[in-house]
Amino acid sequence: MPELYHASLRPNGVRRLSAMIIAGVMVMAVMMLAPRSASADTPWLNVSEGRYASFSVPAAYVQANMGQVSQIMVEGNFGPSTTWTEFGLTRRGDVWSGTLGPLKPGLYYYQVTGDDTKSLKDPTNSTSVASKPLWSTFFVPGDSARLLVDAPAGQGGKVDTLTYRTKNEERSALVWTPPGYSAKGGKPYPVLFLQSGMDRSATDWLDLGRAKQILDNLSADGAIKPMVVVITDGRGPDDDKELKDLRKAVGDAYRVHRGREHQAIAGVAEGGSQALRAALTGPGGFAYAGSFSGLLTELAGGRPGPAPAPGVKLVRLYTGNVTDPAYNATNRLTKALDRARVRYEFDGVNPDGGANWTAWQENLIDFVPRLFRKVSDHGPSAGHGPLKGEFAPPPPGTTPTPFVKDGFVTFETTTDFKDVQHLTVWANIAPGGSWLRVPMSRDGDRWRVTVGPLEPWFYYYRWIVDRVGVKDASNPTKITSEPAWSSFFIPGERARLLSDVPAGQGGKVESLTYRSNVANADRTALVWTPPGYDPNRAEPYPVLYLQHGSGQNYTDWTEMGRAKQILDHQFLDGDLVPMVVVMGNGNSSNFNKELLENIVPAARACYHIASDPSRQALAGLSMGGGQAIGVLKAYPGQFASIAAFSAGFGSGTGVDVAAINSKTKLFRVYVGDVTDFVYPSFMAGLTTMNNLGVHYEFDGVTPGPHGWDVWQKNLVDLAPRLFKG
């Protein structure tokens, strides 16, 4: 979990990184993770080539502009389906900092917020969003976002402002003209009217929708017919009069066709509904219509027949997944169109998009090449699926907590929080298993939100209620060492090793009570024994001592690490040497003594396990990994197999390298990516081991942060390697 846990992966041969490579990696780690100075001109945001976004917000600037705050969030479209979420920063010295990623290629927007209510713009980011003065943007390049990049200078179209009058008031629209457009001479151009929807500005199509870049790049690729594109804001046009006035103004100011067969209309949300009405029921109509997350559900006055109306060539519908309010609306509209025998195309359900600009960028990219020419492909976009009926979580007060369906998770609070001001669900749903807070919305006396799609895996969460962590009391799962957390599981092949095996087929987990001469108290360990464990067999079982991290306890490897499920599956798959796994209490002032004088003797007294060093292994995460390395240094050869997850090697002073190398059969180290805050110290430890000549195995980072998503994968990798050969 994010702030509490302090201190990865294949072949049997020894792998070392050269000092030169390590030095390069360390430079990258320092650039990405080291707190930056509070200088006013130091960028708050840096994005690496690996698509990690590192934020460093000077505490002095926060203090001067917000006053004293207890927390700082970067709010942005970082969540599943690129939904708006909160990413918490940690105070380190004179900056609030944090690293998030890897992010998918695309455009991101964000603002900085303190204590839920005090927001400010990043003054070091020159980008802006006209309709949202506190927002900044950044672009993450990649092949999937190729059409969102700026066209080379001088090769794109132009965007101008058109002012016109309607209903005795002055309005304006933005107009994109293609490269080579001339107001005089030649054939007129077809025209697309692009609506922005309620509460959105025409400029949003440029600042957030990347409409100019999309149109420029499609034009440069020869993928669209040259056209003029008119972009309007959320105020309209929404009726025949306004639309007529706008079309006339465009016809007067630009060299465009005035006939419907050369005119198209599309829009987002309410703008998509307006587009459909204009094409299907409005006099004069349009030959092409696109609805991007449109909310229209019925046709008023629509004509039944083989086409929506004479002259209409294309009606194409777009929707995101169940997090898009248009999902259910689109389901109802398709049924209404089918009943009326109106011909339309459906782009399919975007599995990774909601009602946001990331999805609408994709809609525009798909829609515009279909206009004013013949196309052969009339089906859904690649990877898009069918509508599966309306999405309807159980009524408030009846929802299992959380409600999980097809990878989408609906969280709901009790009525205990009806009077709070700000409530989020904090969970490991960011890339690699990092933590994001998803704002919840009031639903009567409760708060609700649907998040997804989430990949099959094990997840944990808690409510953040007016900046205080609170457990979901309706969820019976528990984490002993962290009472505010709850968990849930999304099944699937990716998470198979974390799922429960069929009843009666797995091993057993039992409690072992022992006396600690360090703590001067009785303590407890948990012990996993494999299926068919026989205390009377001739040969004792090999044993793995598996340690937890700081702020945790002996229960965490079963409650959070899914150790039982992992070991059960690997045993049943035939990948695991039958062994006993002892998960002891590592919270000790003298771990070496606690382990060797208390945990190990107690385990040997109660279980048929080996004392031969070659049949003993010691591993741990974070603090527990550091403890395992400490035992390796102090007692080389006592455990022939040693592994450390997200822990650095530490000092090389006094290390008996010859003894470690000759007596240790396996020394394997793991770490998360640059979002794991021990990454720099881990990499420094590799340099130390290289300089000393310590033999170790390291097969690269495990994608993810300093958290259970990484450590579960580390155990999955380690356990089958033990006690073989």
pLDDT, one tens digit per residue, over 529-552 is 999 999 999 999 999 999 999 999
pLDDT, one tens digit per residue, over 693-722 is 999 999 999 999 999 999 999 999 999 999
| Reported pTM | 0.90
Estimate the crossing angle of helix 563-572 against helix 708-718, to 10 degrees. Answer: 30
User: Percent of the chain scored above 70 by pLDDT?
Assistant: 92
Predicted local confidence at residue 109, as pLDDT:
98
Check if the beta carbon of residue 327 is closer than 8 Å to that of residue 349: yes
What is the distance between the alpha carbons of residues 9 and 30, in angstroms, rounded to a whole number?
Answer: 23
Mapping DSSP to helix (H, G, I), strand (E, B) and coil, where does residue 456 land? coil
Predicted local confidence at residue 28, as pLDDT:
35
Q: For residue 402, say if its preceding peptide bond is cis, omega within 30 degrees of 0.
A: yes
Q: Is 306 or 106 the better-scoring residue by pLDDT?
A: 106
Those residues whose C-beta lies under 8 Å from the C-beta of residue 705, and which sit 6 or more positions away, are 2, 432, 433, 434, 435, 672, 673, 675, 676, 677
What is the distance between the alpha carbons of residues 458 and 477, in angstroms, rounded to a whole number?
Answer: 12
Partners of 139 in beta bridges: 107
Predicted local confidence at residue 186, as pLDDT:
84
What is the distance between the alpha carbons of residues 525 and 510, in angstroms, rounded to a whole number?
Answer: 8
Query: Is residue 668 scored above 80 in pLDDT?
Result: yes
Ramachandran area for residue 90 (φ above 0: left; ψ -120 to 50: alpha; else beta)? beta
Query: Is residue 469 scored above 90 in pLDDT?
Result: yes
Q: Is 400 or 276 the better-scoring residue by pLDDT?
A: 276
User: What are the two backbone dihedrals, phi and then psi, of residue 396, each rounded to the nearest 5 degrees?
Assistant: -50, 140
Check if the beta carbon of residue 427 is closer than 8 Å to that of residue 435: yes
Tally the C-alpha atoms within 13 A of residue 362's C-alpha that lie toward its C-beta: 28
What is the distance between the alpha carbons of residues 299 and 666, in angstroms, rounded to a whole number?
Answer: 70
User: What are the two backbone dihedrals, phi and then psi, of residue 650, each rounded to the nearest 5 degrees?
Assistant: 80, -155
588-612 mean pLDDT: 97
Query: Is residue 11 scored above 60 in pLDDT?
Result: no
Amino acid type, 255: R
685-696 mean pLDDT: 98
pLDDT tier, 235 (very low <50, low <70, confident <90, very high otherwise)? low
The chain-wide mean pLDDT, for the chain, equals 91
Check if the beta carbon of residue 289 is closer than 8 Å to that of residue 279: yes
Question: Two tokens at 476?
Answer: 């019976």
pLDDT tier, 17 (very low <50, low <70, confident <90, very high otherwise)? very low
572-584 mean pLDDT: 98
Query: Is residue 7 scored above 50 in pLDDT?
Result: no
pLDDT tier, 356 (very low <50, low <70, confident <90, very high otherwise)? very high
pLDDT, one tens digit per residue, over 115-150 is 999 999 999 999 999 999 999 999 999 999 999 999
What is the distance between the alpha carbons of residues 642 and 436, in angstroms, rounded to a whole number?
Answer: 33
Query: Is residue 663 scored above 70 in pLDDT?
Result: yes
Least confident stretch, 9-23, 173-187, 407-421, 465-479: 9-23
Predicted local confidence at residue 304, as pLDDT:
47
Q: Which of 649, 611, 612 is nearest to 627 (CA)?
A: 649
171-197 mean pLDDT: 93
Predicted local confidence at residue 319, as pLDDT:
98
What is the distance between the alpha carbons of residues 269 and 205, in angstroms, rounded to a whole number?
Answer: 13
Check if the beta carbon of residue 669 is closer than 8 Å to that of residue 698: yes
Dihedral in degrees, nearest 10, Cα atoms 643, 649, 652, 657: 20
pLDDT, one tens digit per residue, over 454-467 is 999 999 999 999 99
| Strand-pair category, 468-470 with 457-465 | antiparallel
Predicted local confidence at residue 516, as pLDDT:
97
Q: Is 244 or 281 the better-scoring residue by pLDDT?
A: 244
What is the distance between the alpha carbons of residues 548 and 624, in angstroms, rounded to a whole number?
Answer: 5
Predicted local confidence at residue 309, as pLDDT:
60
Predicted local confidence at residue 301, as pLDDT:
57
CA distances, 326 to each of 268, 406, 573, 698, 715 (Å): 10, 18, 44, 48, 42
430-445 mean pLDDT: 94
Name the DSSP letter for residue 466.
T
| Strand-pair category, 666-670 with 641-645 | parallel
CA distances, 157 to each of 202, 249, 710 (Å): 17, 20, 47
Q: Which of 275, 241, 50 is nearest to 164 (CA)?
A: 241
Those residues whose C-beta lies under 8 Å from the C-beta of residue 653, and which sit 6 or more positions away, are none
CA-based angle 9:34:16, to the nearest 5?
Answer: 30
What is the distance between the alpha carbons of residues 136 and 129, in angstroms, rounded to a whole number?
Answer: 7
Partners of 53 in beta bridges: 47, 100
Query: Is residue 16 scored above 90 in pLDDT?
Result: no
Q: Where do the domains of the chain lie, and which CATH numbers do they carry?
A: 43-141 (2.60.40.10), 152-370 (3.40.50.1820), 403-495 (2.60.40.10), 507-721 (3.40.50.1820)
Dihedral in degrees, nearest 10, Cα atoms 708, 711, 716, 719: -130
What is the distance between the alpha carbons of residues 4 and 86, in angstroms, rounded to a whole number?
Answer: 19
Query: Is residue 212 scored above 90 in pLDDT?
Result: yes
| Strand-pair category, 288-292 with 263-268 | parallel
Cβ neighbours around 578 below 10 Å, total:
17
Check if the beta carbon of residue 364 is closer than 8 Å to that of residue 293: no
Check if the beta carbon of residue 412 is closer than 8 Å to that of residue 488: no
Question: Two tokens at 132?
Answer: 């949202």
Alpha helices by DSSP H, 171-288: 204-207, 211-220, 240-253, 270-280
Check if the beta carbon of residue 408 is closer than 8 Å to that of residue 451: yes
Q: Which of 55, 16, 50, 52 is nearest to 36 (CA)?
A: 55
Q: How many residues does the chain have?
A: 725
What is the distance between the alpha carbons of residues 630 and 642, in angstroms, rounded to a whole number?
Answer: 10
